[in-house]
Structure 1
Amino acid sequence: MGYRSFALVAPLALAIGFASSAPEAADLSAGKEKADLCTNCHGEVGISQIQETPSLAGQPDLFVQWQLIFFRSGTRKNEAMQPIAEQLTNEDIRNLGAYFSSLSPPRPAEPDDQPALTEAGARIAAARRCASCHTDTFVGTKATARIASQREEYLVKALRDYKSGVRSGGGMAAMADVAYSLSDDEITALAHYLARL
């Protein structure tokens, strides 16, 4: 972890109490109840039906927790998310992370009406070494997002936000480095490929 990434993460880790030696166990039922705040945008079972809004079902527990921490602290900006995240306690965040990670992930986008675009996206993912962080199957791990089967237009938005510097938070340096050199056509192809995994 570089100094810049550590400088962002260390104070937040202390703020949520991740440094404690005995973290409390998450409560899935409490997470499900608290997730009522999330369903209008992210879907009843964490599968979004709204353009440019990510599905949360099947996301790694720590990824969900860190994003909520970033929203709550204002490190990551979003007009809809910040007021919600500011209301969440550390316990709420633990419970939401556990709940969303327990849900079945979305199914791959279909049909694949542009197989050549999918093939191009696969080549870009390999060339940019996306699997080195997001795993070989792109399902994410720990604090790294699941990008397989994510909404295609959301992936486009996220990559553009990383490229422009609009999005910050965990993994910002690595993602900005990857996204900065991507052309718009490459972003489109990569999102198309990942949404179909």
Structure 2
Amino acid sequence: MRVASFGIVVAATLVLTPVARAADVAAGKEKAVMCTGCHGEDGISQTENIPSLAGQLDQFVQWQLEFFRAGARKNEQMRPIVEQLSNDDIRNLGAYFAQLPPFKGSKDDNPELSEKGKQAAAGRRCASCHIDTYVGTKAVARLAGQREEYLVKALRDYKSGARSGGAQAAMADVAYPLSDEEIAALAHYLARL
């Protein structure tokens, strides 16, 4: 009798639970038109302190949009945009940006600074979350090829506690002891990968 009751509960759950739909990249591309003004054509930002989204991981994009929509991450420009997004829109945007080819990084015009950044990355164990190539994994951001000044801003925001939403505790712990020189070196290094 118990097994039969359990089977009925499982069957009812399967019937009543909505099926997760696959992301629609074409719908994500259509919705991303509203993102191009800041995040650039094909997700490559040309705007200071605005991140490139091309090649960011699907889960990372989705989580950040959720954090903005819930108010866990605060940004006056993002708030009215994300308030209009449905869950499907967020899923589709994540899939769209993830499939775009990322910016390949700038030519290294200061190898000495890059070496200092590489040492800072090793010392703070950045690869333990962002992986050895700094392309991220799952809900962890891609850093390789990101805009240099945006990386500086993000690290300073984590260090000061101004940035919240996702990985705040881990990133604050990593960023807090960094000097301004280490932040500049780390951002320079990662932007050129």
The one-letter amino acid of 1:182's match is L
1:24 deviates by 1.4
1:62 deviates by 0.3
1:109 deviates by 1.3
TM-score normalized with structure 1 length: 0.88
Size of the aligned set, in residue pairs, is 177
Q: Distance between the aligned counterparts of 1:169 and 1:23, measured in 2?
A: 25
1:21 deviates by 7.9
* Post-superposition CA distance 1:96-148 (Å, at most 9, x none): 000000000002112x2211100000001011100000011000111000000
Please state if 1:145 is matched with 2:137: no
Q: Distance between the aligned counterparts of 1:134 and 1:21, measured in 2?
A: 33
Q: Distance between the aligned counterparts of 1:99 and 1:172, measured in 2?
A: 26
Q: Distance between the aligned counterparts of 2:55 and 2:153, measured in 1?
A: 20
Q: Alpha carbon RMSD of aligned pairs, Å?
A: 1.0
Q: Distance between the aligned counterparts of 1:175 and 1:21, measured in 2?
A: 35
Aligned counterpart, 1:162: 158
Aligned counterpart, 2:67: 70
The one-letter amino acid of 2:39's match is H
Q: 1:42 aligns with which of 26, 29, 39?
A: 39
Q: Distance between the aligned counterparts of 1:113 and 1:194, measured in 2?
A: 13
TM-score normalized with structure 2 length: 0.90
Q: Distance between the aligned counterparts of 1:96 and 1:33, measured in 2?
A: 9
Please state if 1:192 is matched with 2:188: yes
The one-letter amino acid of 1:38's match is C
* Post-superposition CA distance 1:151-187 (Å, at most 9, x none): 0000000000000000011111100000011000000
Please state if 1:54 is matched with 2:47: no
Gaps (5+ residues) in structure 1?
1-19
Q: Distance between the aligned counterparts of 2:89 and 2:23, measured in 1?
A: 9
The structure having more radius of gyration, on CA atoms, is 2
| Runs of 4+ residues deviating >3 angstroms | none
* Post-superposition CA distance 1:12-57 (Å, at most 9, x none): xxxxxxxx78421100000000000100000110000000000000
The one-letter amino acid of 1:92's match is D
Aligned counterpart, 2:11: none
Question: Percent of counterpart pairs with the same letter?
Answer: 71
* Post-superposition CA distance 1:50-101 (Å, at most 9, x none): 0000000000000000000000011000011111011100000000000000
User: Cα gap change, 1:21/1:115 in structure 2, threshold over 3 Å: closer, same or farther?
Assistant: farther
Q: Distance between the aligned counterparts of 1:114 and 1:33, measured in 2?
A: 39
Q: Distance between the aligned counterparts of 1:29 and 1:74, measured in 2?
A: 27
Please state if 1:89 is matched with 2:86: yes
Q: Distance between the aligned counterparts of 2:74 and 2:36, measured in 1?
A: 20
